[in-house]
């Protein structure tokens, strides 16, 4: 007959084993503040992809965390830093869904515009994106002119405007090279209308060429005089003969003006 004390000891031993096993299988206590600190440490070390993964996991694990707003902002910024520009809008939309027009929305709106801006690679691609980004920047400046981002936005507007006006020159030269002088004149007149810095001399010279080829000599001479004035203003230290050679490209060769032959890119400004 088994003694009571032996039975008791056996039961107690089994209980301890069960408790120990349960403790071993218990998940670690969740600590969102510690996880947030870890994610931020990855960001501080410029491990942007690791940091992004950490913040995305936090959003999944802690849907009601007090710093959810910051997590969404960091996700958008890290997508931008990782050059995943087409993914920036996902956390931005989530922020708007949860927090509406809170002050951080201004920063996220600008970040979203910048994600479009960085995808512009000149005239050969995404011309519609270029125009849409240009208009979005103008709208942002009008709406948030007193914010810290407005000055930078104005610089981006000027740069995109230069690309857009440069496109007018390129298209005008295309028409000119094929003898469609009136269409070319229409394009070059767009430059005179908006007066972008750096392109006025080109427009004056092309208008001089077009009107001369059309036989309208008095108008051609007017634009040639304006061209000389602008060239001397733009290149005050160079003889006129040298500056005029910058623009003296034969047509219908279809070559672009030598002074503006490089493809404009937005990867640096």
d(CA 160, CA 16): 73
Which residue, among 202, 178, 182, has the nearest Cα to 192 in the 3D structure?
Answer: 202
The domain segmentation of the chain, as residue ranges, is 32-119, 170-260
Say which residues have a Cβ less than 8 Å from residue 165's Cβ, sequence separation at least 6. Answer: 190, 191, 194, 196, 199
d(CA 130, CA 137): 11
Of all helices (H) and strands (E), which one includes residue 37? Answer: helix 32-44
Write out pLDDT tens, residues 167-183: 888 889 999 999 999 99
Angle at CA of residue 243, ends 242 and 244, nearest 5°? 95
Write out pLDDT tens, residues 135-152: 999 999 999 999 999 999
For residues 202 and 247, the answer to whether their CB atoms sit within 8 Å is: yes
Q: What is the pLDDT of residue 5?
A: 60
Class of domain 32-119 (CATH, top level): mainly alpha
Which residue, among 265, 229, 249, 219, has the nearest Cα to 117 in the 3D structure?
Answer: 265
Q: What is the pLDDT of residue 255?
A: 42
d(CA 55, CA 78): 10
Low-confidence ranges of the chain (pLDDT < 50): 1-2, 4, 7, 11-12, 16-17, 124, 249-269
Cβ-based burial of 193 (10 A; exposed 0-12, middle 13-18, buried ≥19)? exposed
Backbone φ/ψ region at 264: left (φ over 0), alpha (ψ -120 to 50), beta: beta
């Amino acid at each position: 007959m088994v003694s009571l004390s032996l039975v008791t000891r056996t039961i107690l031993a089994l209980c301890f084993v069960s408790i120990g096993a349960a403790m071993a299988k218990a998940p670690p206590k969740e600590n969102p503040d510690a996880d947030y600190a870890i994610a931020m440490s990855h960001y501080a070390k410029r491990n942007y992809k690791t940091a992004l993964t950490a913040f995305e996991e936090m959003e999944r694990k802690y849907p009601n965390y007090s710093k959810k707003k910051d997590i969404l902002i960091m996700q958008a910024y890290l997508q931008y830093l990782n050059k995943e520009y087409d993914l920036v809008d996902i956390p931005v939309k989530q922020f708007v869904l949860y927090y509406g027009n809170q002050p951080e929305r201004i920063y996220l709106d600008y970040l979203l515009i910048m994600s479009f801006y960085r995808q512009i690679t000149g005239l050969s691609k995404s011309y519609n994106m270029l125009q849409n980004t240009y208009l979005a920047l103008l709208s942002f400046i009008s709406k948030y002119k007193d914010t810290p981002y407005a000055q930078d936005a104005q610089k981006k507007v000027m740069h995109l405007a230069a690309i857009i006006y440069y496109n007018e020159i390129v298209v005008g030269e295309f028409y000119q090279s094929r003898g469609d002088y009136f269409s070319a004149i229409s394009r070059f007149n767009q430059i005179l209308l908006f007066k972008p810095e750096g392109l006025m001399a080109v427009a004056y010279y092309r208008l001089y060429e077009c009107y001369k080829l059309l036989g309208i000599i008095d108008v051609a001479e007017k634009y040639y005089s304006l061209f000389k004035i602008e060239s001397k203003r733009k290149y005050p230290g160079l003889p006129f003969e040298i500056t005029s050679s910058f623009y003296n490209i034969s047509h219908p060769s279809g070559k672009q003006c030598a002074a503006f032959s490089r493809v404009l890119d937005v990867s640096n400004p």
